[in-house]
Each structure stands twice: as structure tokens, then as C-alpha cells.
Amino acid sequence: RVAYEIHSELGRVNAGGKIPLGLKKKSLRIVVTGGAGFVGSHLVDRLMERGDSVIVVDNFFTGRKENVMHHLGNPRFELIRHDVVEPILLEVDQIYHLACPASPVHYKFNPVKTIKTNVVGTMNMLGLAKRIGARFLLTSTSEVYGDPLQHPQVETYWGNVNPIGVRSCYDEGKRTAETLTMDYHRGLGIEVRIARIFNTYGPRMCIDDGRVVSNFVAQALRKEPLTVYGDGKQTRSFQYVSDLVEGLMRLMEGEHVGPFNLGNPGEFTMLELAQVVQETIDSNAKIEFRPNTEDDPHKRKPDISKAKELLGWEPVVSLRDGLPRMVSDFRQRIFGDEKGSGA
């Protein structure tokens, strides 16, 4: 649904019936749940830059006011402390639904709360979309593929997920969120979009979230050993946050429901990642092996052909280019010795 406003008398009549002269795209009212988190706050920056009015709904479980405080005082920006497990009524055109802890350490902290957030929270936001006729975008995850038996992962792959494991609150939670999203779409005609996001890194990640990129970067900066879990041969594909935000916005504005894989196909073992971190921060950083966590996926790499073809999207920032941008943000937050807002 594209909103237009007439801002000139000249634009009112256009006998050709083509795009009316003098019509410009109206700025939208958008809610971003989880907008004080890592990805959400970068998305909010882009939406604010575009001229939209943005409401952030966040319970600050893993998000921080610091991530969005540069918008406080802007009349187009609102920050609401709210838990999506409770219903909320707002008037908006679009809903970007990101609220959910994303790091394994955080989502395993209170698994029942994680599943409530994914199921009840998503149902509440879909209910809101239905009531006000807004377009709804779900940020799902590559975790819906579980420990994949197909490589790279294509959207048509149904996954290999343990329904009763320690990661299930997150991956089964997101799978249910996808189901709910499709059922609201098919059954109730809600306009929806589904993104399956692969490992993303960048400025404003929680320093202590336990994810591999944040751990390695913080460890190298603090002159601590890089903790490689298991044999370090498991793989992940790391996407820089600005590429993800571009993909999310294209998905929301486009015509296709998805699901779409949004990730960088560059695949690294954890040992290779440790090497890139050593090259970027400290070539003397030591590696320390630790036991791996339960149900850890062995391989992960997105097939992004669908997003390339239908959204005209592909990542442009490589790991070697993106990592230094994150390092300067982490250095500033850990030591406070570098200027920068994390933007």
C-alpha cells in the first residue's frame, strides 16, 4: 500500500492517467518493534533519514536507549517502553516486527519468555496489522533451517530442527511466527513480508551477547584469547548490518511476501573468522578451544538467488570491510577512547 499526497494544485489533474504530476510519496507512519536493539536501531536510522515517522516499541531486554537517543526530541520519533507479549493499539502504515532476543545466550536465558515473545508477541502485532490495515514484516531467521541437511539453504528447504532442544524456544518460536504470519495473510488478507535473516554483525551489537563476532572482537580488544567452540570447523556466513537493513526495506516496499533469505553468502569457519579478527585487531591474539554448545548447527550459508531476482538485492559489504567499522564502535564503547556514535 503506497500512500500519496497531493502537494500542488498542478498535480490534481493529469488527463493521461499516468503518474500524476506534483504527487509525491507521502511519509509513512511506521512502528519498529525491537527498535532499540542492534538491527532495529539501524533500521530506525534509515527510516528517519527517509522522512518517515517512527514509533519504537521495546521492552529493553537486550535493547538500549543509547541506540536511539539521537532521535529523541525529533517530533517524528517516539519511544515506547512496551512488551509485545501484551497487546498495543497504534495507528501506523507499516509494522517492522523485530522484537525478540537474537543471541543464543539471551534467548536461552528465559526460554518460555522467548517463545511467548515469538508466538504471543507476533500474534499481537499481526492482530494490530489486521485492525489498522498495516503491512507487516516479520524478521525470521536462518535458524528455521536448524542444523541444515541442505547446503546452501534455499527458501524451499523445510529444515532440520530439534523441537525439544535448548534452541527450540527460538527456532521453533520463529517457525511458529512464520506460520502465524502466513495464516493471517491467507486467512485474513493481511499484507505480510517474511525475511529469514542470517548472522548479522556491526556497530551497536551488545558487547556481552555471546555471539561469535562480538565475543571475538571484544576478546581481541581486551587482549584475551579468542574462544573457539568445538573444533572451530563449523561455518557461518556473516552479513554487515547496513546490507540487512537495505534488504528489509526493499522487502517491505516490494510486492513479494517471501520468505526471503537475507544474508551474505561468504562462508567462514569459526577458525577462519578468528583469523580475520587477528588480522584486523591483533595478530598476536591467542585462540582457546572450549566445548561447543548443544545442537549447534554445523553449516550455514544462504542461497540468495530469490532476493537477487525479486528484490534486486545483494550484500555489498564483505567481512574484511565491515569488521573494522564494528571494531571502532566496540573500541569506543569498551575503552571510550574513540569518537563515534555507532552509526
Residues with catalytic roles: 170
Is 228 an interacting residue with respect to ligand UDP (CB under 6 A)? yes
Residue 229 touching ligand UDP (CB under 6 A): yes
Asked if 102 is part of the footprint of ligand NAD (rule: CB under 6 A), the reply reads yes
DSSP single-letter state for residue 225: P
User: Per-residue contact track with ligand UDP, 76 to 105, x per CB under 6 A?
Assistant: ----------------------------x-
Q: 3-state DSSP helix/strand/coil percent for the chain, to nearest 5?
A: 40, 20, 40
CA–CA distance, 196 with 92 (Å, rounded to integer): 24
Query: CA 244 to CA 262: how far, in whole Å?
Result: 6
Closest CA to 165 of 297, 315, 264: 297
Under the binding rule (CB under 6 A), the answer on residue 177 touching ligand NAD is no
Tell the burial category of 132 from Cβ atoms under 10 Å away from its Cβ (0-12, 13-18, 19+): middle
Interaction partner, residue 104 (ligand NAD, ligand UDP, none; CB < 5-8 Å by kind):
ligand UDP
- Contact between 307 and 254 (Cβ < 8 Å): no
Q: How far is the CB of 264 from ligand NAD (least distance, A)?
A: 11
**Binds ligand NAD (CB under 6 A): choice among 98, 119, 218, 285:** 98
* Identified binder of ligand NAD from the candidate list 31, 48, 94, 117, rule CB under 6 A: 117
- Burial label for 165, CB within 10 Å (0-12, 13-18, 19+), is middle
Number of residues that bind ligand UDP (CB under 6 A): 14
Q: Does 268 bind ligand NAD (CB under 6 A)?
A: no
Sites for ligand NAD among residues 47-86 (CB under 6 A): 58-63, 83-85
Where do contacts with ligand NAD occur on this chain (CB under 6 A)?
Answer: 33-34, 36-40, 58-63, 83-85, 98-102, 117, 121, 139, 141, 197, 199-200
